[in-house]
């Protein structure tokens, strides 16, 4: 069987039913997003197999669930790919993508080193915004036992890596700390275009959420107004 198909089966078996938003269906969406971005980048010399393997393996072992170990993902991917006799250059490339991929707070922009990495990064980021992004954020917040929203806790924007990993936050704050920033960090043109639409949807959602809350909270509303203004 072909290595992409083999890898799909391996990842599916490992992640099916995972409950924090890193389940197989997240991986499938990232894979499909990657194929869509690949189609738009046809004039570039892109290693499609590396993109596909990177997308399938990108969440195989997350540092958040491995005692903060950022090498757990690349290590697990390497073990799998080497067991399948994938060429060493491709193994190294895929593992580099997985390592560089995770966004770790506002100060760290996680630049990718290759176009293949940029495509997988965009594909993963697209799944963190819009309607799916909203659903995943609240799923993750529930999994962590975090508050939906607390008008007294303000987001920490521009966090260092250490702060991002350790901070208690609310799910609404996660939008201001990360999700609303992703639109301007897309690498490829088609991802930028999709992100603009999804940004609007998130802004509308946050607007309705804050209005329904009727809380004394000028901070979140004022910050959202800035995003609304940027969106016009």
Considering only residues 58 to 117 of the shown chain, the ones binding ligand ADP according to CB under 6 A are 59, 62, 102
Could you please report the per-residue DSSP string of 152-209? TSPP--S--HHHHHH----HHHHHHHTGGGGGGG--SHHHHHHHHHHHHHHHHHHHHH
Indicate which single residue of 8, 116, 124, 177 sits in contact with Ni ion (rule: CB under 5 A): 124
Q: Minimal distance in Å, beta carbon 30 to Ni ion?
A: 6
Q: Minimal distance in Å, beta carbon 10 to ligand ADP?
A: 18
Q: How many CB atoms lie within 10 A of CB 23?
A: 17
Instruction: Compute CA distances 173 → 26, 121, 154, whole Å.
Output: 22, 22, 7
Cα 179 to chain center, whole Å? 9
Q: Are 231 and 195 in contact (CB under 8 A)?
A: no
Point out which span in 44-52, 82-90, 130-138, 183-191 binds ligand ADP (CB under 6 A). 130-138
Indicate which single residue of 31, 140, 176, 227 sits in contact with ligand ADP (rule: CB under 6 A): 140
Q: How many CB atoms lie within 10 A of CB 25?
A: 16
Indicate which single residue of 34, 96, 169, 188 sits in contact with ligand ADP (rule: CB under 6 A): 169
Secondary structure element (H or E) that encloses residue 13, with its range = helix 3-15
Indicate which single residue of 53, 120, 124, 186 sits in contact with ligand ADP (rule: CB under 6 A): 124
Decide if residue 137 touches ligand ADP (CB under 6 A).
yes
Q: Minimal distance in Å, beta carbon 63 to Ni ion?
A: 12
Q: Minimal distance in Å, beta carbon 40 to ligand ADP?
A: 21
Decide if residue 174 touches ligand ADP (CB under 6 A).
yes
In the complex with ligand ADP, which residue's Cβ is closer, 62 or 84? Answer: 62
Q: Minimal distance in Å, beta carbon 188 to ligand ADP?
A: 16
Point out which span in 39-47, 56-64, 154-162, 210-218 binds Ni ion (CB under 5 A). 56-64
Q: Show the tokens assigned to 41.
A: 């980048």
Q: Are 221 and 211 in contact (CB under 8 A)?
A: no
Q: How far apart are CA 56 and CA 107, in angstroms?
A: 27
Q: How far apart are CA 150 and CA 56, in angstroms?
A: 36
Which of the choices Ni ion, ligand ADP, none does residue 98 contact, using the CB cut-off of 5 to 8 A by kind?
Answer: none
Binding site for ligand ADP (CB under 6 A): 21-22, 59, 62, 102, 124, 127-128, 133, 136-137, 140-141, 146, 169, 171, 174, 179
């Amino acid at each position: 069987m072909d290595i992409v198909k083999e890898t799909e089966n391996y990842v599916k078996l490992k992640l099916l039913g995972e409950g924090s938003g890193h389940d197989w269906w997240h991986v499938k969406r990232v894979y499909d997003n990657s194929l869509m971005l690949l189609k738009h980048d046809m004039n570039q010399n892109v290693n499609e197999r590396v993109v596909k393997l990177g997308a399938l393996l990108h969440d195989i072992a997350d540092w958040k669930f491995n005692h903060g170990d950022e090498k757990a993902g690349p290590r697990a991917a390497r073990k799998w790919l080497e067991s399948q006799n994938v060429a060493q250059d491709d193994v190294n490339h895929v593992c580099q993508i997985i390592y560089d991929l995770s966004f770790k707070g506002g100060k760290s922009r996680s630049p990718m080193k290759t176009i293949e990495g940029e495509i997988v990064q965009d594909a993963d980021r697209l799944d963190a915004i819009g309607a799916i992004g909203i659903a995943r954020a609240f799923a993750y917040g529930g999994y962590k036992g975090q508050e939906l929203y607390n008008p007294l806790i303000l987001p920490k924007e521009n966090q260092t890596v250490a702060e991002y990993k350790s901070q208690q936050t609310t799910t609404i704050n996660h939008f201001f700390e990360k999700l609303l920033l992703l639109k301007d960090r897309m690498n490829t043109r088609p991802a930028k275009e999709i992100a603009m639409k999804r940004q609007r949807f998130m802004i509308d959602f946050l607007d309705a959420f804050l209005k329904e809350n009727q809380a004394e909270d000028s901070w979140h509303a004022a910050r959202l107004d800035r995003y609304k203004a940027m969106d016009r």
